[in-house]
Amino acid sequence: MAISQSVSVAVKNWKNWLQHEKRVSPHTFEAYVRDVDNFLHFVSLHAGETVSISTLENLKAADFRAYLADRKFEGLSATSLARLLSSIRSLFGKLEKDKILHNPTLKTIRSPKKPQRLPRPLSEPDSKALISALDQEQDWVAARDMAVVTLLYGAGLRISEVLSLNMADIPEGDTLKVIGKGNKERLVPILPVIRQSIACYLASCPFPLTGDDPLFVGKQGRRLNARSIQLTLQRLRRALGLPETATPHALRHSFATHLLQSGGDLRTIQELLGHVSLSTTQRYTDLDTEKLLNVYREAHPKS
């Protein structure tokens, strides 16, 4: 990939902005960086020159569409293509904000329509079975994983939000301040069982954690990564015969779905989850309707 020094510096600044100002999740960061690297490689071949700021500023709608068409030909789904476009827009938006370039053409490109996918939560019995299985294990790692899981299912946090917590964030009262996507702050209620799980974990943790230390650490004493929790749930769901969709994010979905089924208000659930748009939260009403329809189809004699 041939890019100029000015583009290289601009991309580096964009990466720092994503991590330290936007505070995107590690997964999102890796995906955006990978997408932009791929895009710049395509542009260098497509334009037949070293990619400069001027090259990017003069790209036409046909150039962006050619890139998306190329990736679609390689087999990318509409969801992946939409993310590619989001990554590119993020870079160009930052460059425009910094007055490095101005290319309004990108705003005319429509995102590919993504298929609507409903969340796939666990049932209440399956959620309880998962937590109960964790409770049977006695070491400090199991106590840590239990505390993480109770925050996912009991407070509806994203796994990235749980693992970004520091010791100073431990709530003294009944609410926890969470910094979510887009650096947006929200307060979530903390159940007694969550406080108890965190206290149990800290009492057994072999590392002296204080202040700005991460709340959840791995076996080397460094901040815990999401993969560790994913592997724990993978082991447990296979032992319990749960579906492969029983992931950390499914526990957040379960939190929202079970609240809604118990009469929770949609606006309140939106605030608890940290959704910017109510339409995102409304997917849970679609899920509830789908469940009712499935019961109807299976039970009604005329279905």
- The answer, yes or no, to whether residue 170 has pLDDT greater than 80, is yes
237 is a catalytic site residue: no
For the chain, the residue count is 303
pLDDT score of 280: 56
Task: Pick the more confident residue, 275 or 79.
Answer: 79
Told to judge if 46 belongs to the known catalytic residues of this protein, a careful annotator would answer no
Residue 246 has a pLDDT of: 85
The pLDDT of 235-250, averaged and rounded, is: 87
3-state secondary structure of 214: strand
**Domains of the chain, CATH where assigned:** 5-108 (1.10.150.130), 124-298 (1.10.443.10)
Which residue is catalytic, options 67, 153, 201, 284? 284
Query: Of the residues 83, 94, 253, 275, which is catalytic?
Result: 275
Catalytic residue chosen out of the listed positions 46, 120, 186, 249: 249
Our answer to whether residue 249 is catalytic in this structure is: yes
Active-site residue, from 15, 22, 72, 181: 181
Q: What is the structure's pLDDT at 13?
A: 94
Average pLDDT, stretch 12-31?
Answer: 89
284 noted as active-site residue: yes
Look at residue 295 in the predicted model and tell me its pLDDT: 44
Q: Of the residues 94, 195, 252, 253, which is catalytic?
A: 252
For the segment 25-45, what is each residue's pLDDT rounded down to a tens digit?
888 899 999 999 999 999 999
Average pLDDT over residues 228-237: 91
Answer yes or no: is pLDDT of 6 > 70.
yes
Q: Which of 14, 156, 191, 28 is nearest to 96 (CA)?
A: 14
Average pLDDT over residues 264-270: 67
Q: How far is CA 236 from CA 152, 202, 230, 231, 241, in A?
A: 16, 23, 10, 9, 8
Q: Write down the pLDDT at residue 47.
A: 83
Q: At residue 302, does pLDDT exceed 60?
A: no
Which comes out higher in pLDDT, residue 266 or 96? 96
Per-residue buried b or exposed e for 71-90, using 16+ beta carbons within 10 Å of the residue's own CB? beeeebeeebbbbbbebbeb
Active-site residue, selected from the candidate residues 71, 83, 144, 158 = 158
Q: What is the mean pLDDT of residues 7-20?
A: 93
pLDDT band at 111 (very low <50, low <70, confident <90, very high): confident
> Is 102 noted as a catalytic residue in this protein?
no
275 is catalytic: yes
| Confidence (pLDDT) at 300 | 47
CB 149 within 8 A of CB 249: no
pLDDT at 303 exceeding the cut of 60: no
Q: What is the pLDDT of residues 188-220, one digit of tens each?
A: 888 889 999 999 999 999 999 988 899 999 999
Q: Is the pLDDT of residue 301 over 70?
A: no
For residue range 123-163, what is the model confidence (pLDDT) as tens digits?
Answer: 888 888 888 888 887 789 999 999 999 999 888 888 989 99
Q: What is the mean pLDDT of the chain?
A: 83
Query: Does the pLDDT of residue 68 top 60, yes or no?
Result: yes
**Alpha-carbon distances, residue 281 vs 59, 270, 288, 299 (angstroms):** 37, 6, 12, 29
Q: Tell me the helix, strand and coil percentages in the chain, rounded to 5.
A: 65, 5, 30
Q: What is the pLDDT of residue 136?
A: 81
Q: Is the pLDDT of residue 226 over 70?
A: yes
